[in-house]
Amino acid sequence: MTQKSSSITIREVAREAGVSVATVSRYINHNASISPAVAERLEKVMMELNYVPHAAARNLASRKTRVIGLLLTNMHNDFFGPLLSGIETVVRMMGYNLIVATYRHDLDGDGDRIPIGVHNSDGLLVFADSLDDHQLRHLYEKKFPVVLIHRTPPSDLAIPYVTVENRDATRRLIDHLIEVHGRCNIVFMHGPSNQEDSRWREAGYRASLDAHGLAFDSNLILRGDFERDIAETSMRAFLKSDHPDFDAVFAGDDDAAIGALIALKEAGCRVPDDVSVVGFDDQKLSAFLDPPLTTVRAPTELVGRVAGENIFALLQGSSVDPVTLLSTNVILRHSCGCSEVSVQ
Answer yes or no: do 21 and 148 share one domain: no
Give the residue from 62, 94, 111 where a domain finishes.
62
Please tell me which residue, 54 or 90, carries the higher pLDDT value. Answer: 90
CATH number at residue 266: 3.40.50.2300
Answer yes or no: do 257 and 305 share one domain: no
Answer yes or no: do 194 and 338 share one domain: yes
Q: Is 275 helix (H, G, I), strand (E, B) or coil?
A: coil
- Residues in CB range of 78: below 8 A, 6 or more apart: 254, 255, 283, 284, 285
| pLDDT value at residue 5 | 45
Would the pLDDT of 4 be above 50?
Answer: no
CB count in 10 Å sphere of residue 333: 22
Answer yes or no: do 202 and 334 share one domain: yes
Answer yes or no: do 338 and 285 share one domain: yes
| pLDDT value at residue 27 | 76
Answer yes or no: do 244 and 178 share one domain: yes
Answer yes or no: do 13 and 98 share one domain: no
Closest by CA position to 189, among listed 258, 124, 143: 258
Q: Is 121 helix (H, G, I), strand (E, B) or coil?
A: coil
| pLDDT value at residue 38 | 83
Residue 104: band (very low, low, confident or very high) from pLDDT cuts 50, 70, 90: confident
Q: Helix, strand, coil shares of the chain as percentages rounded to 5?
A: 45, 15, 40
Owning domain of residue 99? 67-164+300-327
Answer yes or no: do 277 and 288 share one domain: yes
Answer yes or no: do 102 and 31 share one domain: no
CB count in 10 Å sphere of residue 247: 16
Number of domains in the chain: 3
Answer yes or no: do 72 and 185 share one domain: no
Would the pLDDT of 193 be above 60?
Answer: yes
Residue 35: band (very low, low, confident or very high) from pLDDT cuts 50, 70, 90: confident
Answer yes or no: do 176 and 124 share one domain: no
CATH number at residue 46: 1.10.260.40
Residue 284, phi-psi category: left (phi > 0), alpha (psi -120 to 50), beta (remainder):
alpha
Please tell me which residue, 37 or 179, carries the higher pLDDT value. Answer: 179
Please tell me which residue, 75 or 53, carries the higher pLDDT value. Answer: 75
> Directed axis angle between helix 254-266 and helix 228-240, to 10°?
40
Answer yes or no: do 112 and 180 share one domain: no
CA pair distance 282, 112, nearest whole angstrom: 37
Please tell me which residue, 28 or 241, carries the higher pLDDT value. Answer: 241
